[in-house]
Amino acid sequence: MRADVLDEPELEFGGGSRHIDPRFGIANYGPADLSSPDAPRAIRVGLVGPADHLDGLQAWLELCREPIAAKDERYPHLFPGFPGCDTDCGLHTTLVFSQRNIRTISDRDLRAIGKASRATALMNALDVYGNEIAALAEENRVDVLLVARPEQLQDTTRRKIYVSAGSRPVVAAPAVAPEEVSGDDSSLPQFANFHDMLKARLLQVRQPIQIIRRSTWDEATLPPAGHSRQDEATRAWNLHTALYYKAGGVPWRLPRHSVDLTVCYVGVAFYRNNDDDRLDTSVAQVFNERGDGVIVRGGPARIGGEDRQPHLGRDDAAQLLLSALDAYRHEHKTLPARVVLHKTSSFTADEIDGFQSAADERGLDSLELTWITRSEGARLFRPGAAPPLRGTLLTITSQELALYTKGSVEFYATYPGMYVPQPIGIRPVEPIRSSRGIGSENLALTKMNWNQTRLDGRDPITIRAANQVKAILRFCPPEQAIATRYANYM
């Protein structure tokens, strides 16, 4: 057993410059695709929502063209100011608005949403918003759709969700109020989420959607119960970076040396469909070091008789990886030399055989299979009250690692969290690299999240994206065509 502290991985920004923190990298050097002719210099934004919401949102976005001061001088690296969003600073782009690209939700529709029972209100909102968004997208005058969620709309109570926890499944029991699923609402799902269901309904729309709450731009509006509000500069950083990525930009990328093999990162997760009657398809995310993501939907899964975890059959595992590789080749016109496949459950002999046969069929030089679990039981402690440093790696055996992706951060001079951090578990199958190499790569992959701009993500992008996608696909019937671009799910 050995403990190491890994260096914080660097990211690449404009001109090939590097920094460990996305915000400082963008502020100092610009986005990674700064010199690319394909970088979005102007992002045409479509707006959909209540009229009073859209007025306030657009006014706040106009203010964000100018710098926003830092929150706290005590932690200048944790809460840096926002440099502004314009062509000569920050992301080196500008948001473009046009009255033609604004669709307002009528007061009549909003009143109907406010008066209906919770589940019915949600379905009504999906219809109203879905129609306006689809109509605006069809005109093809925008790059990204910014959707202001109605304040009076609430999600229904949490439904049963299968979660892989160590070697056994955990099922969170639903707690649905009877009035929410009675009468005319009885056919609606026990759990209904506006964000996920709206994106599921509009997966055929080419333009990605960014859903935003009023509390993001309006300081007078409190965030929902159980949610805290970030400082204004951080909110501006996160929103503008997400819009830039969704518009086709590359805010940052993983550095790649000339001697490195081309690599494809695949994330595989499992989900139950909305009716809860089928452990549905595994989901594969296909990424490269730029963060280009392609979505592949695989075949049905089953619960293993011994470990009670979801698994694929041999043929389904092979077909899933073949589909992922074909999607990669379609996108990049070549196959990678190396594939790193992360899964949210352990690997059976059939899965290993299936994935390896697909790799052999496509002539891959290297295939690395790893189970990533959030239920690691090992813990480490530092002297004093501070949690372990982010990047602390505990090597228990060559096939059992624990990595602190959350923890104290030297660059921030503090622990930027509210709860005691827990490591993720890394379980490589027949590892061909050192524990440090595996840990460092996974630590770097936690930084490839364009929905937030702090450096300390918890999950590798493979697992995070797979979980984001499955949350949306559970509302899609198997025969529905789905978007293949990751930006449509985040």
The residue among 246, 274, 292 that closes a domain is: 246
What is the domain-level CATH number for residue 363? Answer: 3.30.420.10
How many CB atoms are located within 10 Å of the residue 140 CB? 10
With a cut of 90, say whether residue 147 has pLDDT above it: yes
Closest residue by Cα to residue 367 from 486, 442, 261: 261
With a cut of 90, say whether residue 387 has pLDDT above it: yes
Query: Mean per-residue pLDDT for 467-476?
Result: 91
* Average of per-residue pLDDT values in the chain: 89
242 and 272 part of one domain? no
Tell me what percent of the residues of the chain surpass a pLDDT of 90.
71
In a domain, 28, yes or no: no
Task: Please indicate whether residue 48 or residue 153 has the higher confidence score (pLDDT).
Answer: 48
Look at the chain and report how many structural domains it folds into. 2
* Structure confidence at residue 292 (pLDDT): 83
Cα gap 416→92, rounded to integer Å: 28
228 and 278 part of one domain? no
* Structure confidence at residue 225 (pLDDT): 79
* Structure confidence at residue 276 (pLDDT): 62
In a domain, 361, yes or no: yes
DSSP 172-222: PPP---GGGSSGGGTTS-SS--HHHHHHHHTTT-SS-EEEE-HHHH-TTSP
384 and 418 part of one domain? yes
How many CB atoms are located within 10 Å of the residue 200 CB? 21
291 and 379 part of one domain? yes
Angstrom distances, CA of residue 46 to CA of 49, 139, 380: 10, 11, 48
* Structure confidence at residue 171 (pLDDT): 35
* Structure confidence at residue 183 (pLDDT): 35
214 and 301 part of one domain? no
Query: Mean per-residue pLDDT for 418-438?
Result: 94
With a cut of 90, say whether residue 161 has pLDDT above it: no
In a domain, 104, yes or no: yes
145 and 281 part of one domain? no
Cα gap 329→323, rounded to integer Å: 10
Closest residue by Cα to residue 66 from 83, 79, 49, 87: 83
Residue span of the structural domain in which 113 resides: 40-155+192-246
393 and 468 part of one domain? yes
* Structure confidence at residue 41 (pLDDT): 96
Task: Please indicate whether residue 366 or residue 156 has the higher confidence score (pLDDT).
Answer: 366
218 and 300 part of one domain? no
Cα gap 193→123, rounded to integer Å: 10
The residue among 184, 212, 246 that closes a domain is: 246
Confidence of residue 279 (pLDDT cuts 50, 70, 90): confident
CA dihedral in degrees (385, 391, 395, 399; nearest 10)?
A: 130
User: Per-residue pLDDT tens for 316-333?
Assistant: 999 999 999 999 998 888
Strand ranges (DSSP E) for 298-456?
A: 302-303, 310-311, 338-343, 366-373, 392-397, 400-403, 424-429
With a cut of 60, say whether residue 165 has pLDDT above it: no
User: Per-residue pLDDT tens for 62-88?
Assistant: 999 999 999 878 899 999 999 999 999
322 and 445 part of one domain? yes
Tokens (6 digits) for 143: 């790059």
What is the domain-level CATH number for residue 120? Answer: 3.40.50.2300
Confidence of residue 163 (pLDDT cuts 50, 70, 90): very low
Task: Please indicate whether residue 241 or residue 121 has the higher confidence score (pLDDT).
Answer: 241
With a cut of 80, say whether residue 235 has pLDDT above it: yes
